[in-house]
Structure 1
Amino acid sequence: MYDVLARTVPELGRQLHDEGFGVHGMVPFGHSPPVFDLARRRPGRYAAGGSGLVEFGSPLPEVVEALGKGFAGRELLDWGGVALRLTGISVLAPPDFASGRALLRTVTPVVMKGSGRGEDGVRVTRQDWLLPAEPEWAGYFQGNLRRKAETLGINADVSLESVTWIGPKRAFNVGQGLKPGAAVEVELAGDPATLQALWSWGLGQANAAGFGWISA
């Protein structure tokens, strides 16, 4: 994604890569893994082959436009050394969330850091990755939702109402050590525009690395 942005909107691409966006310096985009529905499943191996799809999203219109333009000018995507041939591009609009509530399920793990403090209040680690069932997770997760809204300059009155499903623990190495987490289904309440932005961005941290992608 950074490569596409560098070729289409280089100043914005540099800003997002080097500084992030908004008051919290976050990176407001995310992506799904490539999914091949007709590929043969084999235990312990990623199912790939034939036609598939990969989703990219952002709550920033300028990022979406730049990605669309950049992908339209390509025939291949280099996905970690695997060549994916582009055969078509579609734009998906977010749901309207007119009721002010959203039920969102991720297809990749949500990762979230906690305080890293022990029972005595002293920090013992900076790599305090939380799982959804742990006591600190809900508070840090909701704080992340509000930071995202503040980053975009939109209504930050958004809340986590409930966690309705938790997937198995999974961990991925994205270049800076393993990040553990779990896919979740959550019910959120907030302004419809804020819920749309979160749907387009993803849940939790490290969305630009593919974590917390919401199933469209």
Structure 2
Amino acid sequence: MVEFGSPVPEVVEALAAGFVSRELLDWGGVALRLTGVRAVDQPEFGSGRVRWRTATPVVMKGSGRDESGALGPRQAWLLPTEPEWPAYMQGNLRRKAETLGLDPGVELEAVNWIGPKRSFSVGNGLKPGAPVEVELSGPPETLRALWSWGLGQANSGGFGWVSA
């Protein structure tokens, strides 16, 4: 089973329509036989509070500053154990909401669990991250969109996928 997601329903509809018309999907040289396509409805999140665990590592870039505050040669990838991570994750959540024209009043309440660090070679280098379990609060519509989009950066590369 392979899951695809997007906070934009029209993107999901276009993907589904394209998949339905195919028997085979070439996924990076791996032939996947399509036996069915099913849309998964977004949960309601009516309480405005969620606890999510990611199925894939969450990646996040930080300022690139070291413990002394000195700026390095470029932005650095952050792991959830690093002090800057919560603030950068909070900013990422709000930017995603604003990008979609939704209420950006979402809050990262807690990081309850951090899985093992994993690095993947993507494009022009390694992207390190770790799966996480977080608690968020915010408007249900914004939470639904974030659930479909994923946590952190590089979501189109499969990072930060929230477990259904």
Question: TM-score, normalised to structure 1's length?
Answer: 0.74
Q: What are the Cα deviations for residues 17-56 of structure 1, in whole angstroms up to 9, with x where unaligned?
A: xxxxxxxxxxxxxxxxxxxxxxxxxxxxxxxxxxxx0100
- Is residue 91 of structure 2 the alignment partner of residue 143 of structure 1? yes
**Counterpart mapping for 1:1-216 below 5 A:** 53-216=1-164
Percent pairwise identity: 71
Unaligned runs of 5+ in 1: 1-52
Contact kept? 1:117, 1:125, Cα under 8 Å: no
C-alpha separation between the residues in 2 aligned to 1:205 and 1:149?
A: 14
Q: What displacement does 1:119 show?
A: 4.4
C-alpha separation between the residues in 1 aligned to 2:42 and 2:145?
A: 8
Counterpart of 1:43?
none
Relative contact order, CA 8 A, sep 6+: which one is greater? 2
Q: What displacement does 1:122 show?
A: 3.8
Question: TM-score, normalised to structure 2's length?
Answer: 0.96
Q: Compared with structure 1, are the counterparts of its residues 75 and 212 closer, same or farther at alpha carbon in structure 2 (3 Å cutoff)?
A: same
C-alpha separation between the residues in 2 aligned to 1:119 and 1:134?
A: 10
Over the aligned positions, Cα root-mean-square deviation in angstroms equals 1.1
Unaligned runs of 5+ in 2: none
Contact kept? 2:7, 2:145, Cα under 8 Å: yes
C-alpha separation between the residues in 2 aligned to 1:127 and 1:178?
A: 13
Q: What displacement does 1:123 show?
A: 2.1
Q: What displacement does 1:159 show?
A: 0.5
C-alpha separation between the residues in 1 aligned to 2:33 and 2:161?
A: 22
